[in-house]
Amino acid sequence: MLTPLPEHALLFFRLSLALVFALAFVAKVRDLPAFTKATAELSGLPARAARPAAVAVVAAEGSAATLMAVGGAALRWGLLLAAALLLLFSARLALALRRGRRVSCNCFGRSTQPISTLDLVRNAGLTACACAALLLEALTPRQGVLPADVLALVAAMAALFATVWLSLPDVSLILRPAWQPGNAKGSAS
């Protein structure tokens, strides 16, 4: 039986966050012009300032993913950078939502889906992961290398979590009650 230990939880949070930031990095690098345009629309920056801002975000996300993947002394810096980025992104999203902006963030590649409170929920959950990992990283003594079967199981769980959590808008549509107004199944005849 696998007993959950702090180092397993730390590994789960670390791998989940590293995967999320790596996916965001790759998606933005693959279509930097679309992310630059989304940065301008979301932030209200002029086009000439949006490109350096977009490049800085991509570099920071790539750095966070790398630091978390490397681990050791770099792990704390990667987690701090991830938490700071998530808080910054959340503040920007909240401001845009408050102003009623109907823009896409292109956070994980080109998208036409406008930002919503689900983006804030996603970021809040990821920020909680980063904070929990920082706490565990500070309190957990180094245990050495985990057995390969434990590493594989935790890595699979982290990949599943990241996949589901990044698909939160789609998951919410699946979980939406059938009786919700506007749903043909829930309409009265």
pLDDT single digits (tens) 13-60: 999 999 999 999 999 999 999 899 888 888 888 888 999 999 999 999
Instruction: Please indicate, yes or no, if residue 69 is contained in any of the structural domains.
Output: yes
8 Å CB contact between 36 and 54: yes
Instruction: Please indicate, yes or no, if residue 78 is contained in any of the structural domains.
Output: yes
Instruction: Please indicate, yes or no, if residue 1 is contained in any of the structural domains.
Output: no
Instruction: Please indicate, yes or no, if residue 90 is contained in any of the structural domains.
Output: yes
Nearest by Cα to 65 from 34, 107, 23: 23
For 49, the domain range is 6-186
pLDDT tens string 73-124: 899 999 999 999 999 999 999 998 998 888 888 788 777 788 889 899 999 9
Domains of the chain: total = 1
Residues 6+ apart with CB under 8 A from 39: 45, 50, 53, 54, 57
Q: Quote the pLDDT of residue 38.
A: 87
Instruction: Please indicate, yes or no, if residue 157 is contained in any of the structural domains.
Output: yes
Instruction: Answer yes or no: is pLDDT of 189 > 70.
Output: no
> What does the alpha-carbon distance between residue 174 and residue 68 come to, in Å, rounded to a whole number?
32
Enter the pTM of the model: 0.84
Reported confidence tier of residue 1, pLDDT bands at 50, 70, 90: very low
